[in-house]
Amino acid sequence: MALAGFVHPIANKLFEQLGDTLTADQLAHLAEKILIDKEKGIGFYPSVSGNVFYGHIFNQNGKLNGWYNPNTFASRFNCLVRFYDDAEKKFVYKVFSPMELELA
């Protein structure tokens, strides 16, 4: 099982339909690095090498437009993982909460 990235709660709908590969829109809203602050919550970095912190995704008229609103935090996150599904005989993507991954 490989961790593909972290999904911001506002972007969860984008990952309800997962195919064999991720769409450009899904890739644009997938964080590679997160920051967990005990008091403030969870913040996201769009890339592993990124040093600009973005807490929330900007939602304009119901459409997600990218990573915006610096220095804001979310209350939760999900993990997108890729693994081989023996039943389907192929690699698949699936969204899990961190607790589900810990119990699996």
pLDDT at 59: 60
Q: State how far the Cα of 13 lies from the Cα of 42, in Å rounded to an integer.
A: 19
Domain limits, the chain: 2-103
If the chain, 104 residues long, is cut into consecutive pieces of 10 residues, what is the mean pLDDT of each piece? 87 89 87 86 81 66 61 86 91 90 67
Give the pLDDT score at 104.
57
Per-residue confidence (pLDDT) for residue 18, from 0 to 100: 93
pTM of whole model > 0.95? no
Instruction: Label residue 84 left, alpha or beta by phi (over 0 means left) and psi (-120 to 50 means alpha).
Output: beta
User: Which of 15, 27, 14 shows the shortest CA–CA distance to 63?
Assistant: 14
Residue 52's pLDDT is 72
Question: Cα separation of 17 and 53, whole Å?
Answer: 27
What one-character DSSP code corresponds to residue 101?
H
Integer Cα distance of 64 and 2 in angstroms: 26
Contact, 8 vs 44, CB < 8 A? yes
